[in-house]
Amino acid sequence: MSKIHGIIAEFGNPGSLLRAAEKVRDSGFTRWDTYSPFPIHGMDQAMGMKRSKLGFVIGIFAFIGAAVGFGMQSWAHAIAYPQIIAGKPVFAWQAYIVITFAMLVLFGAIGSVFGMLAFNRLPRLNHPVFFSDYFEKTTDDGFFIGIDSQDPKFDPEKTKTLLESLGSGHTELLEGPDE
């Protein structure tokens, strides 16, 4: 049985896609995206996207990594195996900086990978836009807006009419098997 997963609409150039994105945002849609062969300056603002929280996730992971690295060395040197070597104190924190920094970078990188996967809702092995043969133009010269059927304002006919009124050259319902 075929299910409607959303709708895509093609626009002629980056400027018309940018203006259409502003109108879709102003219409109240929340589950939609734009597709183009290259980044378009100002698209984030046109879509009403907020600043990414990925930096905070990376910062938290990096801080945890630094704390783990510093704590691990402190415990090993001052508690588990307390030895005075070459007259240095048991807690010689200056020697811990290199490993602490390395752990900060390692945990920050791990946090960036997991944060990116979570914020982008990945892995997703199949996306409804791949049901369209016409969508292949995105990698070359196509500029598309895709609106998900999960959006609260989605109505197949009204949404298609809206996209056509914004100057869409081609509009297509994305139909495919249930996921």
pLDDT, tens digit (0-9, with 9 covering 90-100), for 84-128: 888 888 888 999 999 999 999 999 999 999 999 999 989 988 888
Which domain covers residue 112, as residue numbers? 54-119
Confidence of residue 130 (pLDDT cuts 50, 70, 90): confident
Task: Choose the final residue of a domain: 119, 143, 168.
Answer: 119
8 A C-beta contact, residue 177 and residue 3: yes
pLDDT tens digits, residue range 46-71?
A: 999 999 999 999 999 999 999 999 99
Confidence of residue 179 (pLDDT cuts 50, 70, 90): low
3-class state of residue 31 by DSSP:
coil
CATH number where 29 lies: 3.30.70
Residue 91 and residue 61 share a domain: yes
Give residue 85's pLDDT: 82
Residue 97 and residue 41 share a domain: no
Give residue 172's pLDDT: 94
What sign results for the dihedral spanned by CA atoms 115, 116, 121, 124?
negative
Residue 91 and residue 141 share a domain: no
Residue 138 and residue 90 share a domain: no
Distance separating alpha carbons of residues 167 and 11, to the nearest angstrom: 7
Encoded tokens for 128: 């409804």
Residue 58 and residue 108 share a domain: yes
Residue 60 and residue 97 share a domain: yes
Residue 165 and residue 140 share a domain: yes
Residue 76 and residue 42 share a domain: no
3-class state of residue 34 by DSSP:
strand
Total of domains in the chain = 2
Residue 110 and residue 140 share a domain: no
Residue 78 and residue 28 share a domain: no
